[in-house]
Amino acid sequence: MKTAIRNTTAAMAAMLFGMAMAAPASADDKPTLAFVVNGASDFWKAAEAGVKKAQGELPDFNLELKYPSQASVAIQQRLMDDLVTAGVKGIMVSAVDPKTQTDGLNKIASETALFTTDSDAPKSKRVAYVGSSNVDAGKQAAEIAKKAMPDGGKCMGYVGLLGADNAKERIQGFKDGLEGTKISLVDVRGDDIDQTRAKANVQDTLVANPEINCMVGFYSYNTPRIYEALRDAGKLGQITVVGFDDDPITLGGVKEGTIAATVVQQPFEWAYQGMKLMAAYVKGDKSAVPADGLLIIPTKIIGKDDVDAYAAHLKAMAGN
């Protein structure tokens, strides 16, 4: 009798499970869109705020921002694979290394709507790129260097991912902007988004390359690590520092004059505009996708006289 009861219960459970799997999704179910970054950094806090604002205007979607546990192609790919398995309808990603990720990105693009941001993957089957022109941003960094060093100088660059398109394009833009001047970019040191290593790279330069009188931080956290290394060595103000992005340490250095200026991007707008574009695309409206697949959000230079107004702007965007 007990065996018969168990068999009957199991059969009923199986039937109910099958009915649940076959049943249509409830009206409360919402499609999910994900914004996947390339590694842990305070830089992405502005993007979180952009996702939050977009969520308020897209009540029919669930919007998420995801951090890979490490800045690794394999780990980022696994995160996106898991999102696809969970049923996300669209992914916007800052690819760790677009050139080596093409096959993996194409796999994602075959299963869900794929957009890129920050570091484009133009050879992939992504729908569109939403972000900065990194070449133009590099040229703006060169303008800062030229203004700060009219008599010339030797620069060392620092970046997280040497292989990423955003890094290569910023570096190329910087070099292009220096053509015809007495300023040169001697080398660029990578750190794989390891901030301890980022600071150590600067410290190593101070010892091994005393001729360097200019340092360029190509990723958001590189400039703060430059600042800290120079501060610890008692060399703040002795070496020209060209910054990228708006870390509080960077903005503080610009305001006090120890950082010449910084080129700021708009990750808030990447996320806000990007998620809205992706939502429209998923719903079948492709009219807002640019013909060339590029939605460029301009970068700008923030100097000493601009810091207070820019900081107030950031505070307002964050809703504080």
Chain segment 274-297, per-residue pLDDT in tens: 999 999 999 999 999 999 999 999
- For residue 206, give every residue at least 6 positions away whose Cβ sits within 8 Å of its Cβ, in sequence order, or none: 212, 229, 230, 233, 235
Contacts of residue 208, defined as CB under 8 A and 6 or more positions apart, other chains included, come to none
**Two tokens, residue 285:** 């409206």
135 has pLDDT over 70:
yes
240: three-class secondary structure by DSSP: strand
> What does the pLDDT average to over 245-271?
96
Structure tokens at 195: 């901030």
- 261 vs 39: which has the higher pLDDT: 261
Per-residue confidence at 11, pLDDT binned at 50, 70, 90?
very low
Give me the pLDDT at residue 314, please: 80
Q: How far apart are CA 60 and CA 168, in angstroms?
A: 38
**What span, in angstroms and rounded, lies between the C-alpha atoms of 190 and 197?**
9
pLDDT for 28 equals: 54
d(Cα 260, Cα 239) in Å, to the nearest integer? Answer: 10
Distance of CA 97 to the CA centre of its chain: 12
Helical axes 307-317 vs 45-57, angle rounded to 10°: 40
Asked whether the predicted pLDDT for residue 15 surpasses 70, the reply is no
Task: Identify the CA nearest to 62 among candidates 88, 41, 85.
Answer: 88
Tell me the two tokens of residue 31. Answer: 């499609």
pTM of the model: 0.77
- pLDDT over 90 (residue 6): no
User: Residues with Cβ < 8 Å from 7, sequence gap 6 or more?
Assistant: none
Q: Give the tokens for residue 280.
A: 């429209």
Q: Cβ(63)–Cβ(47) under 8 Å?
A: no
Query: Is the pLDDT confidence value at 25 over 60?
Result: no
State the average pLDDT over residues 121-135.
Answer: 95
pLDDT confidence of residue 21: 36
d(CA 67, CA 37): 6
Q: How many CB atoms lie within 10 A of CB 47?
A: 25
pLDDT of residue 168: 93
- Name the nearest CA neighbour of 130 among 293, 299, 317: 293
Confidence of residue 98 (pLDDT cuts 50, 70, 90): confident
Q: Which amino acid would we find at residue 46?
A: A
What's the mean per-residue pLDDT of the chain?
90
- Predicted pLDDT of residue 318: 65
pLDDT recorded at residue 99:
85
Give which of 33, 29, 31 is closest to 275, Cα–Cα: 33
Instruction: Taking residues 223-235, report their average pLDDT.
Output: 98
User: Could you tell me the sign of the dihedral formed by the alpha carbons of 41, 45, 48, 50, in that order?
Assistant: negative
Rg of the chain over Cα atoms, rounded to whole angstroms, equals: 23
Give the chain's domains with CATH numbers.
32-132+267-289 (3.40.50.2300), 134-264 (3.40.50.2300)
The amino acid at residue 63 is: L
* Residue 56 CB contacts under 8 Å (≥ 6 apart), including other chains: none
pLDDT of amino acid 319: 66
Would you place residue 320 in the very low, low, confident or very high pLDDT band (cuts 50, 70, 90)? low
